[in-house]
Structure 1
Amino acid sequence: MRAGNIDFIIGALRQDEDLPDLCSEALFEEDMLILLRNNHPLLRHPDPRSQLATAQWVLPRANAPARNLLDKAFVTLGLPLPQPTVETGDAAMVRGLLQGSDMLAAVSASQMRFETDNGLLSVLPVPLPDTTRRIGLTFRAGSLPSPATQALLRFIYQQVQDGAV
């Protein structure tokens, strides 16, 4: 993006970095949640929270903002940090691993909304405290978007306004 090869990035905004050559715009905020396959044994467990530390996890890579938030949530819950069986940020890989195993994943609510809305994956009813993230756009400071980029941005803004994300 800094070289001008891409116009913007949409995703979680980093709050802890000072990047004077970039500017960001928040679109919405959301919390992380725990996803698992339908009919996973933890969905029937009387105390699923007690099983989180020993579960097999698909996690973002170490030091990724989402991983740091998840680690902080586990500390707040008084639980040992989850240990990754697999580290990936690839949504297709996360989906496949969850559907084909008893693994868990912590993701932003909108990241797998299609899967949860269509009954492909389930949400474990264990809240993750202090995992709210701002999701938005990051641009090169002072850049002038092309007409095509402006059209795409209008579409994104409309989707957010309509509550589609």
Structure 2
Amino acid sequence: MTPPPPAQFDLAASGLRKLRMALTVAQSGRFSLAADQLGVSQPAVTRAVASLEDAIGLALFDRSTVHVAQTEAGTIVIGRAARAFAHLVGPDGSANLVQASDHELRALLATQEQRSIVRAARVLGLSPPAVSRSLLTLERRLGRKLYRRTRLGLLPEPGSETLTRRIKLAYSELRQAEDDLAVLVGRGKGRLSIGTLPIARSGLVPSATLATLDSFPDAEITLQDGTWDSLAQQLRDGDIDLVVGSIRRLDDDPGLTARTLFDDTIAIVAGAKHPLTGIPHPRLSDMLAYRWILPLQGVPLRTQFEALVTDSGGVLPDGVISTDSTAALRTFLLDSDRLAIAAHQQVRDDVNRGLLSLLPMQVPRTRRAIGMTTRRDHTPTALFECFVEKLVSAAATYA
């Protein structure tokens, strides 16, 4: 067996057909039974699995007995492959992608993202005719059109976006298998992509990230800022692994699950030298004489605050600045007499440094749960589990 490769490798590009054969061997327990089920010769299955093992650099099966047993590496690959192919089969099997090649699946993903075969070809390093052929083959395989040409570019037919999500989730499983294998042989870099909402960006996630890198110094950790809607979509698609920040109601999103780390209070914030900081008990009506900085439209905190103003009979002044950037919020408050509604922990460090002040007014019904949101069917890697452990520890200092 060749030594394990020192760098990350592409398990999908090593051959989805080979992975299907290895999975069938594991499920049947014998190479001969797998060959019968697949309708190919036993030597073909043996060669395919051996080629996959050579690409990985590790044995997947112990062949010392008639009934093959999975090695530790085999357990990793087979488990992830089973979940990947479950995504490709789909919930009802009506648009089964299991027989599709890696070229076909990547062509669909790139075309979906670029909305152009020419741009997709450039991203994939292929010619436009090659991408077109892969898409046409996939359309014939599925018995349906995937795109229609318009003057605005390619537009996906109904259901195409669901297909691309399933492919992304399948590839996410295979990438995590690669990470698990690298950890197994002691060469684990690992990859983790974290979506961050405003409250988590300045302290919680950076603190947990640095602590995680103490245990996984070569890991590649990506922090992705965004709104809840954009990050939740990336989470569903498998583009990111978790979202950290204020927790949303998930009643209509059964594919996601949330874990609360702590509850945060909401505060009205001003620059340290704001005129209202000298008033012992400012009223909401006093505050509404000034202009405001609020979260983006649709964020629950903003909706709750606007309802509070309306219920009190007040009206927010014009010229509201909407932002989810803590850095921008700080600058606006320091350079003007505006006020802001923000999570206490979001501005805690600036308040402790004397840059900002919390006005002494309780904001009712605006306590928020802060935590992490993940896909319900997500199976964590060692790096993911380490990050969550460090995140829980960091959150304990905020509670």
TM-score norm. by structure 1 comes to 0.90
2:236 counterpart residue number: 2
1:106 counterpart residue number: 341
The answer (yes or no) to whether the contact 2:326–2:346 under 8 Å persists in 1 is yes
| Letter aligned with residue 271 of structure 2 | R
Matches within 5 A, 1:117-156: 117-156=352-391
The answer (yes or no) to whether the contact 1:71–1:82 under 8 Å persists in 2 is no
The answer (yes or no) to whether the contact 2:250–2:256 under 8 Å persists in 1 is no
Within the candidate set 57, 66, 80, 2:301 is matched to 66
The answer (yes or no) to whether the contact 2:271–2:356 under 8 Å persists in 1 is yes
Write the distance in 1 (CA, Å) between the matches of 2:250 and 2:381.
29
Matches within 5 A, 1:16-165: 17-45=251-279, 48-49=282-283, 50-81=285-316, 83-161=318-396, 163-164=397-398
Report the identity percentage. Answer: 31
Q: Greater RCO between the two (CA within 8 Å, min separation 6)? A: 1
| Structure with more of its chain in strand, by fraction | 1
Change beyond 3 A, Cα 1:72–1:78: same
Write the distance in 1 (CA, Å) between the matches of 2:388 and 2:373.
12
Change beyond 3 A, Cα 1:59–1:82: farther
SS state of the match for residue 2, structure 1?
helix
| Letter aligned with residue 244 of structure 2 | I
The answer (yes or no) to whether the contact 2:345–2:398 under 8 Å persists in 1 is no
1:6: Cα distance to partner? 1.1
Runs of 4+ in 1 over 2 A off after TM superposition: 45-48, 72-85
Within the candidate set 231, 237, 246, 1:12 is matched to 246
1:81: Cα distance to partner? 4.1
Change beyond 3 A, Cα 1:133–1:69: same
Aligned length: 164
| Structure with more of its chain in helix, by fraction | 2
1:127: Cα distance to partner? 1.2
1:58: Cα distance to partner? 0.6
1:87: Cα distance to partner? 0.6
Q: Deviations over 1:5-33 (max 9, x none)?
A: 21111111112752111001111112210
Measured on the aligned residues, the alpha-carbon RMSD in Å equals 1.9
The answer (yes or no) to whether the contact 1:73–1:130 under 8 Å persists in 2 is no
Q: Which runs of 5+ in 1 are unaligned?
A: none
| Letter aligned with residue 266 of structure 2 | M
TM-score norm. by structure 2 comes to 0.39
